[in-house]
Amino acid sequence: MIHGYNGRIAEVDLATGEVSDYYPDEETLRKFVGGRGLATRILWDRLGSRWAEVDPLSPENIMTVLTGPLTGYITGARICVSGKSPLSNGIVGSTAGGEFAMELKCTGYDGLIVKGRSEAPVYILVTDGQVEVRDASRLWGLEGKETVRAMNDEVRALLKERRPEYGLWKEPGILYIGPAGENLVRNTAIMQKWSHACGYGGYGAVMGSKNLKAIAAKGTGPQPAVAHPEMMQELWEATKEAGFADPQRNLWGTGASGYSTGADRSAEPVRNWQDEWHDEKSIGVINFETRNWVKRYWSDYGCTRACMKLAVVKTGPFKGAITDNPDYELEAYCGTNLGIFDTDGVIHVATVVDDLGLSGINSANTMGFAAELYQRGILTEEDFDGIKPVWGDAEAMGELARLIAERRAIGDVLAEGTYRAAKAISEMKGVDVMKYAVQFKGIEVGAHGIRTGKHFPYLGYALSVQGGDHTSIPRPPMSEARSAMGDTMVICTMGMPRAAPDLVWRYMKAVTGWDMTQEDWMNVNGRRIIQIQRAALLLGGPDVHWDPLEDDDNPERWYEPLPNGPYEGLAPDRDEVMEMRKAAYAEMGWDERGIPTSEELNKLGLQDVDAALEPLRR
Amino acid sequence: MLIMKPWVIRDYMKCSGCRLCEIACSMKHEGRVWPEASRVRVFMLVPGAEAPHLCTQCSDYPCVSSCPVDALSVDDETGAVIVDEEKCVSCGACIQACPGEVPHLHPEGGRVVICDLCGGDPKCAKVCVEAGYGALSVGTRTSSKNFDLYAIKPEDLTRNLVVNLYGEKGEELYK
């Protein structure tokens, strides 16, 4: 047995309904650990030789759903989904907090590999040692909250029927998609408990393409045995100490930044990044706190931090809207970036987006892009089927979200994500609109700007193997490995990795028995994962390919000087960024064209990746 | 004379849903992290309406009197229900007798699990207070029937909590 793991991953072929087991060997797990790392290995092994030909929305794509050895042991349990991304055509490790990961581990599985496409809508149910593909035709079309309710009822009734003497059955952990995923909107999320999203990567659309509405897990087993149980109590005490130390620990959550990232830092998207500064106190945390929060501390399984809040609109036209927090990203993207600065309005848009299963960062970036085209008269009310997406109109923005999710009118084009929509609209209207698209390699950027030079680095997103993912940018010494760590062990990066990073490796020792160090991770294991991801991203296809010299760069808008605020006039200098890029390529083991070198790949034992990249070097 | 026994005070609206109580309980009783073997289980039938579910030590202990094999007894000092694992035949009579259906079988089967108040120092409440949530904390109980009301089904708790949290929308979400 391998400590910390169940050692078993279910492989589900939706075309045939067949379920088999995959048992990763210890060497693979030591190298690739779990989550994002293991997903990368699995995807490359199975699709690497014909990567560029695999359409991410075809039955050929593979979706992975993986935990890691520390999931459930270290605070903040998350689940990591991956596959070939329909946005970047590369690999994205996309995680969300919640109870699903813990429930899955308690069934005796570490994860799932989902292949093929079902003829009719289905969901996957994982219980103790058992995986079933079940009919979901009654669930198809349901929005988020309805889906959760229906799944809870169905699964609890089923478990009761199967084991009536047990007593009451708790609800299962559920991953699901909303109507947007069903309609193959490219930047849709895989959702959990109403508002928790595996957002980056667009894997909601991959689930939709497989006719897979949901995956539910309910396990009754313990967490897998650990190698050194005697270390656990001490680590747990240290965790609590580090986690509970600050009396103001997440008093505000990340949601306080909806005001301050604009007002203090000039790094918040405002009206599709036309500005990054505002001083709109109406969106200040004190208003959320006193007007909307019904729970100041809301957590997922095993969390010691509770950076989430539960926010509700109690009165007015948006009465009944519910979301978490909203956290900073959604305050920015469903708020300031749409010109919305009031708490009820932000909560409304965030709720609509979540209910539809759109990704609150990515799809809302596309909404901001569309609203700017409306502002400039490039898109008209007619294109929007009568909706007027005027900055600040929360109701109209909610309708715009629905237009995209249902692929109606221009929504059908916007449903392809900001990059692909910009290409199509440029052609359709005969105007270059790519300059209004704020995205990196097909992935709409997180809500953290770079133009002041003091918030996010000038050269970060541009080199990320996960495009605009704000949680995965390389940092000096230029490497993205540190970001890949949390996604690979599948733990929350807001918790221990931030509060006490050395604890993570002590946990790895206690749980798996393996001696691993941060240094090894940065130089070998973590680095290997990033190089495979980079290779997949550059191979891309079939609809879009990235040219590093062209696309390892910031969007045009981020070279425009900030128009307002204390940092007015600041923007990165492009020549300087290009110089930085040269140096970064070398540090990252990439040649002058941005392609991982043979030397680097061979050193990491990635001869197959090297061979696959050969055509790009010619 | 009023005899005070330890009791776990519930403040449901403060439950963050972190389940540290489940971790602490299973670490204490099973020596490992095992949510379904925990004597306190947090139900989340509606997100946001997390409801810790555990024994309230009813004044008349309907579970104890329902047991056909005398596997359940009451601890003199704490008032907690003690399960004799040797005697328990996991028939489920106590689960049906409990107005809140609080007990459940150990996942391994063969015995029921019920909160034993950790001998008077409940670990679930301890960690919840340490974490600063205070959804569970340690207080005392008397024989007042008010305490019996906490033997309540999670469905009924949820029906109240969703209205408290979400108002009319809550009624719509969980009928």
- Assess whether pLDDT exceeds 80 at residue A105: yes
Q: Whole-angstrom Cα distance, residue A133 to residue A118? A: 10
pLDDT at A498: 65
pLDDT class for B175, splitting at 50, 70, 90? confident
Q: What is the DSSP code string of A367-433?
A: HHHHHHHHHTTSS-TTTTTT----TT-HHHHHHHHHHHHTT-TTHHHHTT-HHHHHHHHHHHHTS--
- Assess whether pLDDT exceeds 90 at residue A244: no
Give which of B13, B16, B53 to mutate to test A binding, by max A Cβ within 10 Å.
B16
Per the domain annotation, does A338 fall within a domain?
A: yes
- Considering only CA atoms, give the Rg of chain B: 16
Q: Whole-angstrom Cα distance, residue A41 to residue A525? A: 12
Q: What is the DSSP code string of B47-93?
A: TT--EEE-----TT-HHHHH-TT--EEE-TTT--EEE-TTT-----H
> Where among A548, A580, A606 does a domain terminate?
A548
Per the domain annotation, does A599 fall within a domain?
A: no
pLDDT at B117: 98
Neighbours of A139 (CB within 10 A): 21
Q: pLDDT of A396-438, one tens digit each? A: 999 999 999 999 999 999 999 999 999 999 999 999 999 999 9
Per the domain annotation, does A292 fall within a domain?
A: yes
Local structure of A325: helix, strand or coil: coil
Both A208 and A148 in one domain: the answer is yes
Residue A95 near residue A35 (C-beta atoms within 8 A):
yes
pLDDT at A240: 80
Mean residue pLDDT of chain A comes to: 96
Instruction: Report the percent of chain A where pLDDT is more than 70.
Output: 99
Neighbours of A130 (CB within 10 A): 12
Q: Which residues contact A347 (CB under 8 A, 6 or more apart)?
A: A292, A311, A312, A313, A318, A321, A322, A323, A326
Q: Whole-angstrom Cα distance, residue A529 to residue A524? A: 9
Whether B154 and chain A come into contact, CB under 8 Å, resolves to yes
Sorted by where each starts, the structural domains of chain B and their CATH numbers stand as 5-173 (3.30.70.20)
Residue A243 near residue A305 (C-beta atoms within 8 A):
yes
Nearest to A253 by CA among A210, A195, A205: A195
Q: Which residues contact A398 (CB under 8 A, 6 or more apart)?
A: A348, A349, A352
Residue A340 near residue A330 (C-beta atoms within 8 A):
no
Q: Whole-angstrom Cα distance, residue A114 to residue A207? A: 9
Least confident of A146-155, A225-234, A387-396, B155-164: A225-234
Per the domain annotation, does A390 fall within a domain?
A: yes
What does each C-alpha distance from A10 to A59, A60, A105, A240 come to in angstroms?
18, 18, 12, 34
> What's the whole-number mean pLDDT along residues A543-566?
98
DSSP A2: -
Check which CATH number belongs to the domain holding A496 and give it: 3.60.9.10
- Assess whether pLDDT exceeds 60 at residue B1: no
pLDDT class for A306, splitting at 50, 70, 90? confident
Q: Which residues contact A487 (CB under 8 A, 6 or more apart)?
A: A35, A36, A37, A80, A93, A95, A471, A472, A493
Q: Whole-angstrom Cα distance, residue A227 to residue A284? A: 47
Residues of chain A with Cβ-Cβ distance to B48 below 8 Å are 194, 294-295, 298, 310, 322
pLDDT at B44: 98
- Assess whether pLDDT exceeds 70 at residue A496: no
Both A312 and A408 in one domain: the answer is yes
Whether B37 and chain A come into contact, CB under 8 Å, resolves to yes
Strands A122-127 and A190-192: unpaired
User: Which residue among A226, A229, A244 places its CB closest to the CB of B132?
Assistant: A244
Orientation angle between helical segments A526-539 and A481-489, nearest 10 degrees: 100
Q: pLDDT of A49-90, one tens digit each? A: 999 999 999 999 999 999 999 998 888 889 999 999 999 999
Both A178 and A324 in one domain: the answer is no
> Where among A525, A548, A571 does a domain terminate?
A548
Q: Whole-angstrom Cα distance, residue A364 to residue A389? A: 12
Residue A335 near residue A283 (C-beta atoms within 8 A):
yes
Per the domain annotation, does A601 fall within a domain?
A: no
> Where among A497, A521, A548 does a domain terminate?
A548
Both A403 and A302 in one domain: the answer is yes
Whether A154 and chain B come into contact, CB under 8 Å, resolves to no
- Assess whether pLDDT exceeds 80 at residue A516: yes
Per the domain annotation, does A618 fall within a domain?
A: no
Residue A314 to residue B105, Cβ atoms within 8 A: no
Check which CATH number belongs to the domain holding A416 and give it: 1.10.569.10
- In A184-252, alpha helices (H): 203-209, 229-244
> What's the whole-number mean pLDDT along residues B92-97?
98
Nearest to A305 by CA among A470, A66, A491: A491
What does each C-alpha distance from A504 to A224, A432, A537 come to in angstroms?
18, 47, 29
Both A512 and A544 in one domain: the answer is yes
Is the pTM here over 0.95, yes or no? Answer: yes
> What's the whole-number mean pLDDT along residues A109-127?
98
Q: Which residues contact A547 (CB under 8 A, 6 or more apart)?
A: none
Both A343 and A481 in one domain: the answer is no
Residue A320 to residue B103, Cβ atoms within 8 A: no
Q: Which helix (H) or strand (E) holds A161?
A: helix A144-162
Local structure of A333: helix, strand or coil: helix
Per the domain annotation, does A614 fall within a domain?
A: no
- Assess whether pLDDT exceeds 80 at residue B139: yes
Q: Whole-angstrom Cα distance, residue A386 to residue B125? A: 55
The tokens describing A135, both together, are 């009919």
pLDDT at A502: 82
Q: How many Å from the N-terminal Cα to the C-terminal Cα in chain B?
A: 43
Both A111 and A207 in one domain: the answer is yes
Residue A487 near residue A38 (C-beta atoms within 8 A):
no
Q: pLDDT of A168-197, one tens digit each? A: 999 999 999 999 999 999 999 999 999 999
Per the domain annotation, does A112 fall within a domain?
A: yes
Residues of chain B with Cβ-Cβ distance to A70 below 8 Å are none
- Assess whether pLDDT exceeds 70 at residue A499: no
In this structure, which amino acid lies at residue A452?
Answer: T
Chain A nearest C-alpha distance from B162 (Å): 11
Local structure of A214: helix, strand or coil: strand
Instruction: Report the percent of chain A where pLDDT is more than 90.
Output: 91
Residue A310 to residue B165, Cβ atoms within 8 A: yes
Q: Whole-angstrom Cα distance, residue A443 to residue A439? A: 6
Residue B20 to residue A298, Cβ atoms within 8 A: no
Q: pLDDT of B145-161, one tens digit each? A: 999 999 999 999 999 99
Chain B nearest C-alpha distance from A302 (Å): 5
Both A6 and A112 in one domain: the answer is yes
Q: pLDDT of A205-215, one tens digit each? A: 999 999 999 99
Region class of A539: left (phi > 0), else alpha (psi between -120 and 50), else beta: alpha
Number of folded domains that form chain A? 2
pLDDT class for A533, splitting at 50, 70, 90? very high
Whether B9 and chain A come into contact, CB under 8 Å, resolves to no
Instruction: Give residue A255's domain range.
Output: 248-444
Give which of A6, A230, A240, A310 to mutate to test B binding, by max B Cβ within 10 Å.
A310
Whether A98 and chain B come into contact, CB under 8 Å, resolves to no
Residue A558 near residue A446 (C-beta atoms within 8 A):
no
What does each C-alpha distance from B5 to A75, B38, B65, B125, B143 come to in angstroms?
33, 22, 20, 15, 9
Q: pLDDT of A309-331, one tens digit each? A: 999 999 999 999 999 988 999 99
- Assess whether pLDDT exceeds 90 at residue A29: yes
Residue B130 to residue A244, Cβ atoms within 8 A: yes
Q: What is the DSSP code string of A550-602?
A: HHSS--GGGGSPP-SSTTTT----HHHHHHHHHHHHHHTTB-TTSPBPHHHHH
Q: What is the dihedral of CA A167, A172, A178, A182, to 10 degrees?
A: -110
The tokens describing A99, both together, are 């109870």
Q: Which residues contact A405 (CB under 8 A, 6 or more apart)?
A: A178, A179, A180, A183, A185, A356, A357, A358, A411, A415
CA atoms within 13 A on the CB side of A522: 11
Angle, CA A489 vertex, CA B131 and CA A524 arms, to 5° = 135
Neighbours of A366 (CB within 10 A): 33
